[in-house]
Chain A
């Protein structure tokens, strides 16, 4: 490896030996592409002409007006995922791969991968926990419409963790022809670094937009954290600005006191899973826990290693929002602003609403990472048709 792949003690490359050459090839392709103006030009053309960047920064009108929303929900595909998927798709083509595999939780990353598979002409296989397949039928069909094959994973808790296990197993056999298009800033090196760099555009745009529209930096930047790609993408350009608080919001599910949550950084402890040393929800012996969140995208017992480092160094704070709080924020945004956001993003908004109320003078930037179309059926069940 050319980079060290560590964030303090966290990160690393904990994979079976057979996968190391594939990760070294990927790191090499990533670093070469970073130095290649033609790569940047093609990616930027796709991000603007195909995916719809830059995304707007929207000041709330009826919710507290000190809340600003970075609208990744308006990106093609319906979430921030498209940013880095386009970039990895181009990298896969550079490496001569013909097949893409990916894991997905809520289905947003699967949809984004299906998009790039269709656009750039890859055979595309999506591993998705069987539980998630059931609760995200619409996204499953979207992927299939774009030519991807969705494979339900029946092992473990049948969610995102198990989908990643299965994708890694596929890749162990297929790496010569196949790129594993990992969907978040987690996993073995170089994924956490590479995905952060490809998502950094969220924060770079937001920072410029804040300065232009508000004339100052925000006091707090708030993003939801499952694996952590939208949060690290939004945070990265603000990390050097010591006056800007960075707050990651994890899924507190049915409450942090029980076991039914996905609050890895709040309730977990360091361990090794899916290629990286990072915080994990696990039992005393090191068996990884099954998690719970109303939002499939936050239903994950590990987290990107850079977030573990940001937590331990104190540069970012990590808090929880419960299913009920997220659902309430989801409703509030719909009723007051006419925006249906993803359940994942609603966790960030729930916490931002608390800050906006407690600190009316603070300017709060919220990563609205995805749109809520995929969650409408579930919302109808949870809220009731007469909401």
Chain B
């Protein structure tokens, strides 16, 4: 059973949802980033989602753009990112790690998926490869032993939901609102998307984009999310020198509320 599948099973038994913490690899430098990765696990993150910095992150808002810029300015290379994942994997053998990055980095490095799998990453989401371009990438990932994660959005039509359900493996990344990554959220999450994904046999729906408070976490879980990913709020907290572990602990607590057990 994959690390993601084991995690979702373990949490389901405890009637909890998964809390995913996002960090940009190499931000602000590799050593500090390694410590932040440990901090989010210490705070209770069930899964860790990591960005590999790209020069032109069109799906990202200002906070994550700035994080990528800091990492690139520090001279961080893709190989350094895989080394950070490998180090994390040694320290935390069971915590699922998913990579979130952009197509050009994958294309530029022959064997990107294989190197990611060998470093110990469990999944790979390519933000600018939508479902209609995803098949060759999913095939490549399957051969390399890493699970593809696709995005499903509130405006994704039903025929594509079925296709996404068949390609996405570790979880399905649900985008509940239009726009780019960031803390902005209406605080409402539509339950229709997780229901459609469930009916299509998709892997567990995990909500991202606009999750920054315990209330958001609750609302996403109430809408049917098996988990949430919080990115900009954590990255912003780290950039300001805040207590990342405490922030994660607060957000994770919201996945344990008894009302999570429907």
Where the two chains meet, the residues of A that have a C-beta atom closer than 8 Å to any C-beta of B are 1, 12-21, 155-156, 161, 165, 168-169, 172-176, 270-275, 277, 280, 282, 284-288
Contact = CB atoms under 8 A, between A and B. Distances in A.
Nearest to B112: A286
Nearest to B101: A286
B54 A287 contact: yes
Contacts of A274: 56, 58
Contacts of A175: 178
Q: Which 4 A-B pairs have the closest CB atoms?
A: A286-B108, A173-B179, A272-B103, A17-B151
Given A271-B104, A282-B104, A13 B132 contact: yes
B180 A173 contact: yes
B132 A271 contact: no
Nearest to B130: A17
B178 to A, nearest CB: 5
B55 A172 contact: no
Nearest to A14: B128
Contacts of B156: 17, 20-21
B196 to A, nearest CB: 14
Given A16-B127, A16-B151, A272-B128, A286 B157 contact: no
Interface residues on B, range: 35 or more
B179 A272 contact: no
Nearest to A20: B130
B132 A155 contact: no
Please classify the interface of chain A as helix (H, G, I), strand (E, B), loop, or mixed, using the class held by over half of its residues: mixed
Nearest to B156: A17
Given A21-B155, A272-B103, 18 more contacts: A14-B128, A14-B129, A14-B133, A16-B59, A17-B151, A18-B151, A18-B179, A155-B65, A172-B179, A175-B178, A176-B178, A272-B102, A274-B58, A280-B104, A286-B54, A286-B78, A286-B109, A288-B55
Contacts of A285: 77-78, 105, 108-109
A168 B58 contact: yes
Contacts of A13: 130, 132-133
A15 B180 CA distance: 12
Contacts of B128: 14-16, 272, 275
B234 interface: no
Contacts of B102: 272
27 contacts: A14-B130, A15-B128, A16-B128, A18-B175, A18-B179, A20-B132, A21-B157, A156-B55, A165-B58, A169-B59, A172-B58, A172-B59, A172-B178, A172-B179, A172-B180, A173-B180, A270-B107, A272-B102, A274-B58, A275-B128, A285-B105, A285-B108, A286-B104, A286-B106, A286-B108, A288-B55, A288-B56
A143 B57 CA distance: 28
B180 A169 contact: yes
Interface string B107-148: 111000000000000000001111111000000000000000
B55 A287 contact: yes
A101 to B, nearest CB: 14
A277 B133 CA distance: 11
B153 interface: yes
Contacts of A173: 178-180
A376 B62 CA distance: 36
Given A14-B133, A16-B130, A273 B56 contact: yes
